[in-house]
Structure 1
Amino acid sequence: MSSAVPSSVPVEPNAPDLSLVICTLNEGAAIRAVIEEICDTLEGISHEIIVVDDDSKDNTADEVRAVAATRPNVRLHVRVGERGLSSAAMKGWDIAHGRFLGVMDGDGQHDPAAIRELAQLILKGDKDLVCVSRYIGKTETGLSGIRDLGSKAFTWVTGLVLKVPLSDPMSGCFMMTRDYYLSARPKLTGLGFKILLDIASSSKTKPRFGEIKASLRQRQGGESKLDLRVVIDLVAVLIEKATGGLLPARFVMFVGVGLSGVVVYSAVLILAHMFFRDGSYLPLYRFQFRTDDVVSYSVAIWLSMTWNFFLNNILTFRDKRLQGWGLLRGLLGFYVACSVGALISLALALFMKEELKVHWLPAGILAAVLSSVWNFWGAMLLSWRTPKAK
């Protein structure tokens, strides 16, 4: 779940009707044209454009500043050390001034004519949520064959599990009232790229919604952000919403990474028992344990911990991904956070094997699983802790 809800920016009497957020990451080739086109298309509608950029390494920020110099309704907010479209959209809405809030991509795939139609629909005041849908009638989606099939499959699963009353809950272009956003804000995960799914399944309010059909245009710049990590994010969010928040999305991903770590742990353990055999015993407290068992379990724990850290940095905490010296500090913090769990795992594995006569492999696996909850909270605290807002 996302962090605490910030104080909402008050809507002033002279505030724009619509705040449209554009989330960017290395969209320098397209963003200027996208902003100019959408501003021209929304002429006559009081609006502001908020570009939330995830510290792009190209000229995205410079292009936005150049447009803002001649268009006072354009704002830029650069996030450092954060990633992800969903959390970027939330940041934009949190600082927005408009009575109505919207989002679109920065690569030019969303049709400005459809966005104007959305704006006119939401401004009538009889809808809480309006969305662009690729699946009304026989409209071409604008996606390639495999992406189109995958999107339709996830749309079907989403409707089956969450009963979201939208034909295209994967849509990345929609608008809503500020009140509807605030009703969903406390339960938003902020993970991944499918923010509409997150919002529609987080609010207790059943929205009055409308849809318009439109396909995606050719991308004007940048590249697709859709990859395996996005799919994993989506599955984790679906699990959180389907369980009513009992299993938070981030914890689901952490456990998934942990399961892959169990595979690494088991493989190392098997290899160690195949190639490292020592008949000597090591006295620990009141017990005598085989030296090769102590070494095998210890190495397996260390290597699986290292594997889990790097995979979590890529998947579970991709929005807070550590780099440079921060990566090293995070790794050391992860070791510290998981050290207690590792000691618990080692002690349980040895005790089950020697005292309870459990086979060495299931003893090690069960011990590793039992320490996963401790490891999750320790990692959140010491490795990927979200800094407090100033």
Structure 2
Amino acid sequence: MNINQPSSLLPVPSGTLQIPESPSQELVWFSLIIPTYNEAANIEKLIQRLTNLLDERIPGNYELIVVDDNSPDGTWQIAQSLIQKYPQLQVMRRQDERGLSSAVIRGWQVAKGTILGVIDGDLQHPPHVLLQLLDAIIKGADLAVASRHIDGGGVSSWSLIRRFLSRGAQVLGLIILPSVVGRVSDPMSGYFLVRRQSIANVTLNPVGYKILLEVIGRGQIKQIAEVGYVFCERKQGESKVTWKQYLEYIHHLLRLQFSTGHIGKFSQNFPVGRFVRFGLVGLSGVFVDMAVLYLLSDPTTLGLPLTRSKIIAGEIAIFNNFLWNDAWTFADVAMQQNSWRQRCKRFLKFNIICLAGLVLNVLVLNLVFNFLIRNRYVANLIAIAIATVWNFWVNLKLSWRVTQVK
């Protein structure tokens, strides 16, 4: 690891993105990296809040490292001017590299802590949650993640489109890289702590601005803890989230999948017992659908229009499947989340996922029939199988959360 040394600032590492097993300088317990770009309006307030919290909890046993990508608004200069007031603060100015993920790793490379962390520099990550993350590490977690998607978490005033994109990105992650994304409820979180030993001597290779996937995918992470937090709206400066970040996220998922051997891990850890139960429940739904369709549409019974009857029958079958899955397939999870609000939330997710499964079924049916196998029944069987796996896996990871989180 080569070092370039700008005057009066922290050295900027170069070379491979690898965290040393032990720092070259005297240890502190905790190092928190704050990657910044054009955060001049927020940086002083953030440093003040973090210092007040950490001086009370672990006085003198931490460091704050601002890693700035040569911000045009002079963020690094403002941070540097605060060092005399806040002796635990250090600043790195990067002029030859860009990107949040690499900024975090460069900060970790010069950090002295046995516990390494990251927090955004825009005050959208509430600083007080840091104390709960520290508590989780003290209790034995290798990785403590601040999550928007568990009890106590949320987003303050996101638009419907942004919520959809965030959840859609998570669903894509569960499909492409389930053995990594499925371990946490908020895989796109940029607010977490990790033990140095869990990621030491591993070459990290992030894409874009989400470093957590890289830490879970390449590190030796055994126990994970999550802490709920509400993602705050930015009060100063401009958001840096663009469509490019979502594309980089998908690129990162694919590269991790094919470079780390997680396909094999997925096949080894696939919950076959749950899947069989899910399939049997689905089969019961077929009989319910057929029976209700007969009762509603047959001329000898109610004689309702066919389309209306089918919609009602399909929804009753979905409700049947949900009840059986909640009581049998995922009973262990449902027992821990047994309030009516939680059940209604699961049912809504189950409905949406099944609808998406129906769309997937139709798409696969047409693709297989038109391009692969000119037999409509074989093509339909393949489409049903793929849609069933989709429904099971996405419900497993979104409707009935089954993770390694403690």
Same fold flag (TM > 0.5): yes
CA shift at 1:94, angstroms?
Answer: 0.6
Aligned length in residues? 241
Query: Of 77, 80, 86, which aligns to 1:62?
Result: 77
Q: 1:224 is matched by which residue type in structure 2?
A: S
Supply the distance in 2 between the matched residues of 1:151 and 1:104 (Cα, whole angstroms): 19
Query: Of 211, 217, 220, which aligns to 1:195?
Result: 211
Structure 1 residues 119-172: Cα deviation after superposition (integer angstroms, max 9, x where no partner): 122133x11100000000373223332222211111122133222200001001
Q: Kindly indicate whether the alpha-carbon contact (under 8 Å) linking 1:49 and 1:73 is maintained by their aligned counterparts in 2.
A: yes
Residue in 2 that maps onto 1:114:
129
Q: 2:155 is matched by which residue type in structure 1?
A: T
SS of equivalent to 2:165: helix
Residue in 1 that maps onto 2:149:
135
Residue in 1 that maps onto 2:20:
8
1:97 equivalent in alignment to 2:109: no
Structure 2 residue runs of 5 or longer lacking an equivalent are: 1-13, 262-406
Q: Kindly indicate whether the alpha-carbon contact (under 8 Å) linking 2:145 and 2:189 is maintained by their aligned counterparts in 1.
A: yes
Structure 1 residue runs of 5 or longer lacking an equivalent are: 247-390
1:36 equivalent in alignment to 2:48: yes
CA shift at 1:193, angstroms?
Answer: 0.6
Distance 1:5 1:82, change over 3 A: closer
1:168 equivalent in alignment to 2:189: no
CA shift at 1:196, angstroms?
Answer: 0.3
Q: Normalising by structure 2, what TM-score? A: 0.56
Supply the distance in 1 between the matched residues of 2:125 and 2:217 (Cα, whole angstroms): 23
Structure 1 residues 11-68: Cα deviation after superposition (integer angstroms, max 9, x where no partner): 4795221100000001001111011111111223121000000000113112101221
Distance 1:220 1:41, change over 3 A: farther
Q: Normalising by structure 1, what TM-score? A: 0.58
Q: Kindly indicate whether the alpha-carbon contact (under 8 Å) linking 1:29 and 1:220 is maintained by their aligned counterparts in 2.
A: no
Percent of pairs with identical residues: 32
Distance 1:210 1:9, change over 3 A: closer
Distance 1:71 1:38, change over 3 A: same
Supply the distance in 2 between the matched residues of 1:238 and 1:75 (Cα, whole angstroms): 32
Q: 1:135 is matched by which residue type in structure 2?
A: H
> Which deviates more from structure 2 when the two are superposed, residues 18-27 or residues 55-64?
55-64
CA shift at 1:113, angstroms?
Answer: 1.2
Supply the distance in 2 between the matched residues of 1:208 and 1:9 (Cα, whole angstroms): 19
Supply the distance in 2 between the matched residues of 1:206 and 1:18 (Cα, whole angstroms): 18
Structure 1 residues 211-264: Cα deviation after superposition (integer angstroms, max 9, x where no partner): 000111221322211112111211111111122369xxxxxxxxxxxxxxxxxx
Distance 1:92 1:138, change over 3 A: closer
SS of equivalent to 2:231: coil
Q: Kindly indicate whether the alpha-carbon contact (under 8 Å) linking 1:90 and 1:190 is maintained by their aligned counterparts in 2.
A: no
Structure 1 residues 258-292: Cα deviation after superposition (integer angstroms, max 9, x where no partner): xxxxxxxxxxxxxxxxxxxxxxxxxxxxxxxxxxx
Structure 1 segment 143-158 matched on structure 2, within 5 A: 143-158=158-173
Query: Of 88, 93, 99, which aligns to 1:84?
Result: 99
Q: Kindly indicate whether the alpha-carbon contact (under 8 Å) linking 2:152 and 2:228 is maintained by their aligned counterparts in 1.
A: no
Distance 1:58 1:229, change over 3 A: same
Supply the distance in 2 between the matched residues of 1:157 and 1:201 (Cα, whole angstroms): 16
